[in-house]
Amino acid sequence: MPEVKPMEGNQAVAEAMRQINPDAVAAYPITPSTEIVQTFAQFVADGEVDTNFVAVESEHSAMSACTAAAAAGGRVMNVTSANGLALMWEILYITASLRQPVILTVVNRALSGNINIHCDHSDTMGARDAGWIQLYGENVQEAYDNLIQAVVIGEREDVRLPVMSCLDGFLVSHSYELLQVEDDEAVQEFIGPYQPRYPLLDIENPITMGPLDLWDFYFEHKRDQWEAYGPAKQAIIEVGQAFGEEFGRPYGLMEKYHLDDADFVVMAMSSMAGTAKDAVETLREDGVKAGLLKLRAFRPFPSEEIVATLQNAAAVAICDRAASFGAETGPLYAETIAALYSAGMQIPCCNYIYGLGGRQVTPEEIVGIYRDLERIAAEGQPSQPLQFLGVRG
């Protein structure tokens, strides 16, 4: 029977991994995701999973071994954060290019330097062009649900791409919430058996994987890869619907919170969306038409759907939990603006960079953002296009 249990985000991820029961996991500990690796290692030690757990000596080897294990033919998972993800960076691109649907949980944490163990999205934003699907979860339940869906999305025949399932370090990874844990059998049923494509262990049909690919073919291969992200978007939608039908919690590319009639829209990802929902409630009580666009899929970036969702907004605040140094805005802002501009839409927008290195965001600060939006809508453009929320000095 499905059960409701208090669980931390990390435990919820480990629980989903137990239920998925992958063929291989190669992982390396780093705060704040260490607990997932430890919990999973215990599942292995207690015979609760069949997984071959490879306790590698680095994240570089972790992602190398995962990519190779997936290429050999089987379901593979991995876990990391921040510097660990940075150390995998070279291999991330290769996993995606080899079209291996490795599933990676990233517990988001600020990249060094200086060293900081708390949440921001600089790690996964830094990997945004690597070719991985990226899903961002708001809370413990979403971390659990997203991981299960990630398996189905990544392994779909028309997708075959690796997936990062992201949750906020400490804010979600170490927060206890009530989690609806589904039945092991129901999860297995939902993900289905792994369907390998060109497995290296197929001795009768030897293939050469990862060859030298020069100017005469590389470009076509990259274009072919490019074309997988359309089906990937569709897969996120369809798998999210199917998940809803099966477990009663439907998902899509984004969550629209009081958006139908919203004039003032905040766009954010992950746990900040939870805080923003509070602010929206408060403002709605005062008659302010506030709404929230919580983006779940950053890769593929759902430009069309974002444009359609924002078309009636009077002003939009786009919140980035990462800085893109040397650029004039954060990455979420840049991509959203590009989408709006391409669609010929001139909505006044502003960019907030917030929460770097785990800096708390309060509901009051978010209410302040909506107040700014009222002013921006009235004036037709922001006086300050980029602000650092809650920063001193």
Minimum CB distance to other proteins, residue 228 (Å): 19
Question: From residue 184 to residue 213, what is the string marking binding to other proteins with x (rule CB under 8 A)?
Answer: ------------x--xxxxxxxxxxxxxxx
Q: Residue 92, Cβ neighbours under 10 Å: how many?
A: 23
Residue closer to other proteins (CB basis): 7 or 66 = 66
Minimum CB distance to other proteins, residue 221 (Å): 8
Per CB under 8 A, does 157 bind other proteins? no
Q: How many angstroms separate the Cα of 333 from the Cα of each of 30, 121, 158, 367?
A: 29, 14, 29, 19
Say which residues have a Cβ less than 8 Å from residue 238's Cβ, sequence separation at least 6: none
Binding segment toward other proteins, per CB under 8 A, in 37-45, 71-79, 179-187, 223-231 = 71-79
Residue closer to other proteins (CB basis): 21 or 180 = 21
Q: Which of residues 1, 3, 46, 57 is near other proteins by CB under 8 A? A: 57
- How far is 245 from 250, CA to CA, in rounded Å? 7
- How far is 161 from 230, CA to CA, in rounded Å? 12
Say which residues have a Cβ less than 8 Å from residue 298's Cβ, sequence separation at least 6: 124, 128, 134, 135, 136, 269, 332
Per CB under 8 A, does 379 bind other proteins? no
Q: Which of residues 41, 44, 94, 334 is near other proteins by CB under 8 A? A: 94
C-alpha of 330 from chain center: 16
What is the DSSP secondary-structure string of 14-30? HHHHHHH--SEEEE---
Residue closer to other proteins (CB basis): 90 or 281 = 90
Q: How many angstroms separate the Cα of 203 from the Cα of each of 206, 207, 286, 383?
A: 6, 9, 68, 65
- How far is 306 from 85, CA to CA, in rounded Å? 28
Per CB under 8 A, does 286 bind other proteins? no
Per CB under 8 A, does 54 bind other proteins? yes
Classified as helix, coil or strand, 284 is helix
Instruction: Tell me, by CB under 8 A, how many residues bind other proteins.
Output: 48
Residue closer to other proteins (CB basis): 195 or 381 = 195
Per CB under 8 A, does 72 bind other proteins? yes
Residue closer to other proteins (CB basis): 73 or 363 = 73
- How far is 273 from 271, CA to CA, in rounded Å? 5
Residue closer to other proteins (CB basis): 98 or 283 = 98
Minimum CB distance to other proteins, residue 212 (Å): 5
Q: Are residues 107 and 82 in contact, defined by beta-carbon separation less than 8 angstroms?
A: no
Per CB under 8 A, does 114 bind other proteins? no
Question: From residue 238 to residue 257, what is the string marking binding to other proteins with x (rule CB under 8 A)?
Answer: --------------------
Minimum CB distance to other proteins, residue 12 (Å): 24
Q: Are residues 345 and 310 in contact, defined by beta-carbon separation less than 8 angstroms?
A: yes
Binding segment toward other proteins, per CB under 8 A, in 46-54, 158-166, 249-257, 302-310 = 46-54
Per CB under 8 A, does 60 bind other proteins? yes
Q: Are residues 239 and 228 in contact, defined by beta-carbon separation less than 8 angstroms?
A: no
Per CB under 8 A, does 122 bind other proteins? no
Residue closer to other proteins (CB basis): 57 or 260 = 57
Half-sphere exposure of 224 (CA within 13 A, CB side): 11
Residue with tokens 């969306």: 273
Minimum CB distance to other proteins, residue 144 (Å): 24
Per CB under 8 A, does 1 bind other proteins? no
Between residue 296 and residue 335, which ones bind other proteins under the rule CB under 8 A?
Answer: none
Closest CA to 23 of 74, 71, 59, 70: 74
Per CB under 8 A, does 30 bind other proteins? no
Q: Residue 173, Cβ neighbours under 10 Å: how many?
A: 29
Q: Which amino acid is at 264?
A: F
Question: For binding to other proteins (CB under 8 A), which residues are involved?
Answer: 23-24, 26, 50-52, 54-58, 60-62, 64-74, 76, 90-91, 94, 98, 196, 199-214, 217
